Structure 1
Amino acid sequence: MRNLLLSIVSGLLLSFSWPEIGFSYLIFFAFVPLFFVENKLKGKRKTLKLIGLSYITFLIFNVCTTYWIMYATVFGVVSAVLITSSFMVLVFIIFHKLKSIYGYRLGYVSFVALWISMEYVQMHWQLAWPWLNLGNVFAKDVYLIQWYEYTGIIGGSLWVLIINIIILNVILFNNYTKYILLGLATLLFPIFFSLSVKFNLENRSDNILNVVIIQPNIDAWSQYKFRLSNMCSYLVQKNHINDSVNILLAPETLLQNYLWKRDPNYMYVKSHRDSLVTIYKGDIDRLYDLNNYGSNLSILVGATLSDFIRGDLEKYNSAVFIDRNKDIQIHNKTRLVPGAESIPFTFLSNLIRNYLPKEIVAPIGNFKSSNEIEIFKMDTVDILPMICYESIFGNLANYKDFDLISIITNDGWWGNTAGHKHHFHYARLRAIEQRKSVIRSASTGISGYINLNGEVVSSIPWGTRDAISIKVSVNNIKTFYNKHGDYIGRISSFLSSLLIVVGFVRRKVNKN
């Protein structure tokens, strides 16, 4: 019973450390009860018991922090919770086995390496879901983690894990003074360094842009009833569009009428009845009309692009950039939401498409993706566009030259829950990692402007139809993280692989 209670406590501590749910400081000892269980568990079937107890911990963590997915899809929340919980349990059990081979100290080194490796994989594989990577826990407390410009969020995960292990040592060993001092140093040094970075950071600005961000407050479930003409009229009537405005930012998939991928000036429709293709002028023309009120205006808006290739419909969740000369640039989303926008793994996609009726398969997971984010060029300013799910992947912005980050999204699928708030706060981490201003437009959710320190300068709250006119600073800073990427994840993956292989060989040798 004690072990069960400790496992539950660990799950609750992890959950209540998350943004909008509790206090981030709880994360620093959230693993300790589960570590204590692993250390004290004895008797037969120890591994089997540990699987069950650790699954309880991570199931609680996943359910409490991502329950809101059920408002969009029940299948999605069940899949996300079970797969991610299983992944975390697998890490814990491998750690348990390696600890029995290598001993206490190297065992906990293996846990840190394994967990960081899991988070690294969660940012790259086809079922990528880095929402619960531990470094995200400080998304609201950005004063603590200004050093993410050197490490990315994985640096935060490393910080959390080390402090948890030090606290465990304080509890388990008599020489606790040494571990208390070590723990305080490990906790406080990054905080003081963060405050120092923030204090000394120049609010560098190579240019100032006048930006209008609109939040149309569209119900996600009735989005197709939205009228673009109403939005344009609203902007003109409120005098948001004038000759001084440089950028109008509008949300994801605002243009729903299947713009033709080959030329977004047109819409592209195929009649399935008579197999005819109809091409006609679309929504882009309505946006062009705004240039009559703002001669320097460029527009960045979300759209669904489509084309028929060899008889099959190809759809893209895209960002369309219309510069002041009416030239069009396109970025097609690179990270698709598993299940909702894509069916991961080719064999699984083929299996589903071969055995389910086309009427069921057609609307599910049939978006196409691009391999790289396309940088939008606007005079002397380069913009990195991120579409919804892409904005939780800090690594997507690395190794690129740009001056400003734009995020377009639709967070209305989850209702007024913690989900859309998490998503907004994660954008603050992107600002710190890259030391760039972030402008964000949501169909429904939170729209706003975040400065290069990750501080929210201006925002439009949930459930509000509004537009804000702001002055945004842009710069061409390249951070250490931008230049070197997730080096902590790469090192951890190598170390984990080495420990597993050597441990396996050592165990075989000892048995013989």
Structure 2
Amino acid sequence: MKEKLISLGSKSFLKPYFLGLLSALFFTLSFPKGDYSLLIFIALVPLFWASSEKEGDNLTILSLGLFFGLIHYLSLLYWIAYTLHKYGFLPWVVAIFALFLLSLYLALYPALFLLLNAQLKVFSEPTPAKGLFLSMSFVGFEFLRSTLLTGFPWGLAGYPLANFSPLLQSADLLGIWGLSFLVLFINYYLFYTLKSFSSRAIKRFASLRSQLFFLSIILFFLFYGYYQQETWEKKLMKRGDSLKVALLQGNIPQEIKEAKEIKISIETYERLLWMALSHNPDLILFPETAFPFYFPHDREPSLKLLEILERLRLTGRDSFHRVPVLIFGTFRVSNFNSSPRVHNSLLVWDGKDIADLYDKEKLVPFGEYVPLARFFPFLKRISVVSDIIKPGISKNLSFPIGENHFELVPLICFESAFPQIWVKRLRKGGDFLFIATNDAWFGKTSAPYQHFQLAIVRAVEGRRYVLQAANTGISGVINPLGQVEVKSFLEREEIILGTIRPLKDKTPFVRGGYLFPYLATFLLLASVVYIIWGNYLRGRRRYPWLKR
């Protein structure tokens, strides 16, 4: 009998963690390369169910959230360990431990999310209003994760909706934050429906109004999406100014870039440049650090690059053809207070000279700089590169093509994960977005696919064409509906050709969509204060000595 009780007790103990494991795996598989994006609509239902059975046991709820988050982020971000080992030259044990620490930090957010909602009986006594609160609080936690400690907005819950066009279209209203809200709301609706099956008939009847409430919000997003999709399809069919673009993907292995084999990079991109010219593009875009040297400090390769540009200028003059504008990535050396500063930069060549430049604003922690290195020097040992790159300022790139003047919003690599960076720039102007990246760091892992998914959502949020040029892929052209018009394969040398339309519309998200995550964060913090104050008052009633 005693053995039977122990067996039942162990099953009861393990059940919530099994459900948490199920949710974590479903959640990860809904992202690339999992390619089971439908799972995003049910991924959190097992977690909510486990939480409903353990509500009141704060320690179990907290550990369940940590367990879920740890499994999810370890499986989603496994490529970080690969990169740290292969290019940071860390032993596998150290690289995996670094991934574990990051995942543990990120897991704090779902753990606190579960604990907060359990305190308010969101799972044990589900209602439509609590569904709204849960979804908003999740957005608040995602926003905090995206901003605190330099921010890490990778893998937000709304990104798998990039594969569901009608739902994706609402990104122009509330951005990625609205998509995350919708994902959580749908999951909670399914959880609520399953819970109602166990209720009595009278409760089921009472829940009919609740069902209508849930469905009305979901249908609003759906109908809004269909309306926007039809509207923008008509807009894009109308005649207007267009640009022919060429994206160059040199497929330079990171081992070659790390070995400073500059000659190979220059020769590869010079060859692709002359091949692209045969298609008469207006604009040719190179990836991040296509020319991996310090311009103009490294004299020999800098002169070689200038020689290529001069030959291109003379070719255009002699053939009476307009020379395309080039935008290419390199490391730029500037002087600051008589000391050199290195930037990860994009330079604009307008057919005559370097006409504009952009220095990367948001650097990659432990990839381009070491946070808190001044206080903790040992952190430099786990950095992929030395701490020499300095951030630039927020700005757009402008250039003439023929009689027209264009402005693009530049983003380099990790910056495409931060909507707040490009939204600020797009408010000032910007006809389209350009993401220059070098995803060779990640090999054939899921990271390049996850990175490209960000670009799809960015296109709909701003209703702009998005051009992504990647060294090893994925490069592509995405239209304002989030439809991929053309894209490259991974680890293949390619020239991607496309036609884009410069656009001027400013979406609700660009105009003021950031009010939504701010509101969600305020609601989250207010609820924390409410819970703490409520617990304090209950404590005073239970323990009169607290009143003294």
CA distance 1:482–1:206, change in 2 (3 Å): farther
In structure 2, C-alpha distance between the alignment counterparts of 1:425 and 1:132, rounded to whole Å = 10
Shift of 1:181: 4.3
In structure 1, C-alpha distance between the alignment counterparts of 2:491 and 2:334, rounded to whole Å = 34
What's the counterpart of residue 364 of structure 1?
Answer: 386
Shift of 1:179: 4.5
What's the counterpart of residue 17 of structure 2?
Answer: 4
SS at match of 2:146: coil
Summarize deviations over 1:205-252 as a string: whole Å, max 9, x none: 64211211110011022123233134223432x3x2169432110010
Highest RCO, 1 vs 2 (Cα 8 Å, sep ≥ 6): 1
In structure 1, C-alpha distance between the alignment counterparts of 2:386 and 2:106, rounded to whole Å = 22
Q: Is residue 387 of structure 1 aligned with residue 403 of structure 2?
A: no
What's the counterpart of residue 457 of structure 2?
Answer: 429
Q: Is residue 229 of structure 1 aligned with residue 267 of structure 2?
A: yes
CA distance 1:366–1:231, change in 2 (3 Å): closer
1:287 counterpart letter in structure 2:
L
Q: Is residue 190 of structure 1 aligned with residue 225 of structure 2?
A: no
Q: Is residue 34 of structure 1 aligned with residue 47 of structure 2?
A: yes
CA distance 1:449–1:107, change in 2 (3 Å): closer
What's the counterpart of residue 275 of structure 1?
Answer: none
Q: Is 2:139–2:181's contact at 8 Å kept on the other side of the alignment?
A: yes
In structure 2, C-alpha distance between the alignment counterparts of 1:395 and 1:122, rounded to whole Å = 13
In structure 2, C-alpha distance between the alignment counterparts of 1:356 and 1:4, rounded to whole Å = 34
In structure 2, C-alpha distance between the alignment counterparts of 1:182 and 1:442, rounded to whole Å = 44
Identity fraction in percent = 24
Q: Is 2:439–2:448's contact at 8 Å kept on the other side of the alignment?
A: yes
SS at match of 1:248: strand
In structure 2, C-alpha distance between the alignment counterparts of 1:312 and 1:475, rounded to whole Å = 41
What's the counterpart of residue 274 of structure 1?
Answer: none
CA distance 1:165–1:469, change in 2 (3 Å): closer
Q: Is 1:232–1:287's contact at 8 Å kept on the other side of the alignment?
A: no
| Residue correspondence of structure 1 range 328-339 to structure 2 within 5 A | 328-339=355-366
In structure 2, C-alpha distance between the alignment counterparts of 1:19 and 1:391, rounded to whole Å = 17
Q: Is residue 297 of structure 1 aligned with residue 320 of structure 2?
A: no
Q: Is 1:253–1:302's contact at 8 Å kept on the other side of the alignment?
A: yes
Q: Is residue 246 of structure 1 aligned with residue 269 of structure 2?
A: no
In structure 1, C-alpha distance between the alignment counterparts of 2:385 and 2:169, rounded to whole Å = 42
Bigger shift: residues 243-252 or 479-488 = 243-252
Bigger shift: residues 480-489 or 373-382 = 373-382
Q: Is 2:247–2:475's contact at 8 Å kept on the other side of the alignment?
A: yes
What's the counterpart of residue 545 of structure 2?
Answer: none
CA distance 1:186–1:279, change in 2 (3 Å): closer
SS at match of 1:382: strand
Q: Is 2:478–2:484's contact at 8 Å kept on the other side of the alignment?
A: yes
Shift of 1:417: 1.9
Q: Is 1:253–1:304's contact at 8 Å kept on the other side of the alignment?
A: yes
Q: Is residue 67 of structure 1 aligned with residue 75 of structure 2?
A: no
In structure 1, C-alpha distance between the alignment counterparts of 2:393 and 2:110, rounded to whole Å = 28
In structure 2, C-alpha distance between the alignment counterparts of 1:154 and 1:39, rounded to whole Å = 25
CA distance 1:280–1:435, change in 2 (3 Å): closer
What's the counterpart of residue 174 of structure 2?
Answer: 151
CA distance 1:163–1:388, change in 2 (3 Å): same
Bigger shift: residues 491-500 or 323-332 = 323-332
| Residue correspondence of structure 1 range 37-186 to structure 2 within 5 A | 37-41=50-54, 46-73=57-84, 74=95, 77-99=99-121, 109-173=132-196, 174=199, 175=204, 177-186=208-217
Q: Which runs of 5+ in 2 are unaligned?
A: 1-13, 85-94, 317-321, 541-548
Shift of 1:468: 2.9
Q: Is 1:291–1:297's contact at 8 Å kept on the other side of the alignment?
A: no
What's the counterpart of residue 10 of structure 2?
Answer: none
Summarize deviations over 1:289-341 as a string: whole Å, max 9, x none: 32233433211111112346568653211111111231331111122111111
2:536 counterpart letter in structure 1:
K
CA distance 1:374–1:112, change in 2 (3 Å): same
CA distance 1:205–1:394, change in 2 (3 Å): farther
Q: Is 2:368–2:384's contact at 8 Å kept on the other side of the alignment?
A: no
2:78 counterpart letter in structure 1:
Y
In structure 2, C-alpha distance between the alignment counterparts of 1:60 and 1:387, rounded to whole Å = 29
In structure 1, C-alpha distance between the alignment counterparts of 2:210 and 2:35, rounded to whole Å = 27
- Give the alignment partner of residue 297 of structure 2, picking from 263, 267, 279: 267
What's the counterpart of residue 23 of structure 1?
Answer: 36
Q: Which runs of 5+ in 1 are unaligned?
A: 260-265, 270-277
1:117 counterpart letter in structure 2:
G
Q: Is 2:170–2:179's contact at 8 Å kept on the other side of the alignment?
A: no
Greater per-residue helix proportion: 2
Instruction: Please tell me the root mean square deviation across aligned C-alpha atoms, in Å.
Output: 2.9
What's the counterpart of residue 482 of structure 2?
Answer: 454
In structure 2, C-alpha distance between the alignment counterparts of 1:15 and 1:22, rounded to whole Å = 10
SS at match of 2:173: helix
In structure 2, C-alpha distance between the alignment counterparts of 1:163 and 1:416, rounded to whole Å = 32
In structure 2, C-alpha distance between the alignment counterparts of 1:361 and 1:135, rounded to whole Å = 30
TM-score calculated relative to the size of structure 1: 0.87
SS at match of 2:47: helix
Find the structure with the greater CA-based Rg: 2
In structure 1, C-alpha distance between the alignment counterparts of 2:185 and 2:468, rounded to whole Å = 34
SS at match of 1:122: helix
Summarize deviations over 1:402-459 as a string: whole Å, max 9, x none: 1011111011111112210111122111111111111111111111211111111122
In structure 1, C-alpha distance between the alignment counterparts of 2:468 and 2:136, rounded to whole Å = 34
CA distance 1:470–1:189, change in 2 (3 Å): same
SS at match of 1:406: strand
